[in-house]
Every structure is written in C-alpha cells, then in structure tokens.
Amino acid sequence: FEDPDYPDKVYKVVKALYRLHQAPRAWYETLANYLLENGFQRGKIDQTLFIKNQKGDILLVQVYVDDIIFGSTNKELCTTFEKLMKDTFQMSSMGELTFFLGLQVKQKKDGIFISQDKYVAEILKKFGFTDVKSDSTPIKTKKPLLKDPDGEDVDVHLYS
C-alpha cells in the first residue's frame, strides 16, 4: 500500500491484531503485562488467574483465551475494573456471568449457584433419553449445604 502524500513511508502491520495464529498469545501477554504492572499478582497454580488485594478486599480476574471473568469481595472494585478494561482495551461487557465453560451460573443474594442442567439435557437428548421414565435418587435430594458450626472460617487471602 502506498500513500501518495507519503511516498517514502511504509505501514507496519501488527499481525496479532488481524487474528492470525499469534493473536491469542499476543493478546494474553498484553493483558497479563498490563495487569501485573497495575498491582495484580499471578495465581501460583493457575497462571491465567490474576489477584489483587486492596484494603482488605480481593479482586480476582480469570482469563480464558479472549474471555475474562472477574469478581470481588467489593462491588466497587468490579465496577472500577470493568470501566478500566473498557477504557484501556475497548472491551465490551457481556453483563453478569450466566454461562461459562459449560457451567450455568445463577447469582442470587444468598449465594452463587453453579449447575450443568443444560449440559445434562443435551446429553439426554443426544442419546434419546428425554422420554424415559426416571427413577428416584438413592440419596436425599435438595438437602441444603450448611455451614459447619464447629468449623473455622477460611481466610480467602491465603489462597492467592
């Protein structure tokens, strides 16, 4: 490509921006470096998990290819992080997490509920078991998981 106004200049193509083979790696490195430069630490076991401790609160950022999920003990940290990502990387937000890596996520005031209902339904349909008679489960169902009254609380900051 030649620009008539600048015949002695050339354009340098940054291949990663054009979704070539190197794009995911280049994108991940750019994002990882940015997070590390801004006070995040990599998870010790999962290198795609980034953790930031701030005034007693924690912000977790999980990167999966070109998707990011994040959460915090402080809603304001989430709001600030979301705005930062939009402004810095022109990212768009998909809203509250409802589905990720085959898991359905339901967020309610009393907790976060994760299930694979959709996956199970697809498997049943695939193998023609949608109309078969069901049988009871040999254990109690819908039994709530209760906090152990004698157990010690876990410090979430120890697992970073």
pLDDT tens, residue order, the chain (160 aa): 566 777 777 666 555 444 545 577 778 888 999 999 999 999 988 889 999 998 989 999 998 877 888 888 888 998 999 998 888 887 888 888 888 778 888 878 777 788 998 888 899 999 999 888 888 878 777 788 788 888 888 777 776 5
Integer CA distances (angstroms), 59 to 9, 18, 51, in order: 45, 31, 6
pLDDT the model gives residue 14: 52
Contact criterion met (CB below 8 Å) for 160 and 41 = yes
- 3-state SS class at 45: coil
